[in-house]
Amino acid sequence: MQNSLSIKKIKIRTSKSYFAVIGSGLIKNAGVYIKEVVSDCKIALITDDTVDKLYGNKVCTSLINNGFKVVKFVFKHGEESKNLKTYGEILEFLAENELTRTDAIIALGGGVTGDMAGFASATYLRGIKYIQIPTTLLAQIDSSVGGKTAIDLTSGKNLVGAFCQPELVIVDTDSLKSLPKETFIDGMGEVAKYAVLDKKVFSLIEKGDYDMQELIYLCIDYKRRIVEKDEFEKNIRKYLNLGHTPAHGIEKLSRYTIPHGRAVSMGLNIILENSLRHKLINEKEYQKIKQVIYKCVGENECPYTVKEICLASYSDKKRSGDKITLVMINGVEKISLNKISVDQLWGYLN
């Protein structure tokens, strides 16, 4: 088992407190860590067909060695599986395998897996425990922490969901080694968002030559500070939506062939350009932020017009009546929430 000195822990104090454990080689010992938060129960491991081949057996073996009964549900990888059909299949699987309220779910994989397993956990038997084992950079720094779970509808992304905090988050940095380059860069799109929101992350990216464990720790710690103050997104948690309104439009237009983090980085550029145009940010700060976004994701041209993106964003879940809240950039760690009418969105961002 890994030396505890090389493991970083963050306690997230929300309506349910839990730890995010960050280190290398944690997956093969997942059962040891999970036994500290749940025990003597049946566990349903939810994963996709890609991640299952890499880590499914390792996690199952560790769980069995630590006294758990294990059943496994595997679905086809990709955002297109994050729908009502797959969600229903997961619920039927849980019922057929007779999971009870004292049992638990594990989400092993990226953001899609975490969203679906988390939403199943929130709704099956009105709620059972679940553990996150994120294997992509995007899931490790963002979607595995904070309790948001959701699935997509034909009309838009994440339109059905619930807040459901996990019992534990296990972040194995070794899993990043198995990621395709494009999937890693996808996660760096969310890192770019955190760089704008947090000076420590910004400084790390600006300097370069950073340790991934430290980067993941800083991103999670920033999100921790936000969700502890605003768990249910009434106020400052909306900062975490930076770049996401245009991003969700971009994803929808691409039929989800442009992944979430890449779309977020495109959305960031749109918001940054318009923050300068509306004189919310000065030229010096604009150039600094633009350079850091480039360091994260490289060249990142959006294939759609602003008008197309705005039309596709009208069903965004952040809409309230005929208003939508745009998260704008005033500088590094300086964010403003601008509520505008939906019919003004194109003009505001054009």
CA distance 144 to 283: 35
pLDDT at residue 132 above 50?
yes
CA distance 230 to 148: 12
Average pLDDT over residues 162-182: 97
Alpha-carbon distance values, 153 to 80, 147, 156, 169, 309 (Å):
10, 20, 5, 27, 18
For tokens 């953001």, the residue is 111
Is 243:291 a contact under the CB 8 Å cutoff?
no
Look up the pTM and report it. 0.94
Which pLDDT score is estimated for 316? Answer: 66
Average pLDDT over residues 264-278: 97
Question: pLDDT tens across 204-230, in order?
Answer: 999 998 999 999 999 999 999 999 999
Which pLDDT score is estimated for 161? Answer: 96
The H or E element containing residue 74 is: strand 69-75
Alpha-carbon distance values, 264 to 185, 188, 201 (Å):
11, 10, 17
* Domains of the chain by start residue, with CATH: 4-178 (3.40.50.1970), 181-210+228-349 (1.20.1090.10)
Which pLDDT score is estimated for 40? Answer: 87
pLDDT band at 317 (very low <50, low <70, confident <90, very high): low
Those residues whose C-beta lies under 8 Å from the C-beta of residue 64, and which sit 6 or more positions away, are: 31, 70
Those residues whose C-beta lies under 8 Å from the C-beta of residue 86, and which sit 6 or more positions away, are: 75, 116, 151
Q: Which residue has the higher pLDDT, 321 or 282?
A: 282
pLDDT at residue 5 above 60?
no
pLDDT band at 1 (very low <50, low <70, confident <90, very high): very low
The β-bridge partners of 110 are none
Q: For residue 142, what is the DSSP state?
A: I
pLDDT at residue 21 above 80?
yes
pLDDT band at 327 (very low <50, low <70, confident <90, very high): very high
Is 68:83 a contact under the CB 8 Å cutoff?
no
Alpha-carbon distance values, 238 to 17, 83, 235 (Å):
21, 24, 6
* Average predicted confidence (pLDDT) for the chain: 95
Query: Among 42-46, 294-298, 314-318, where is mean pLDDT lowest?
Result: 314-318
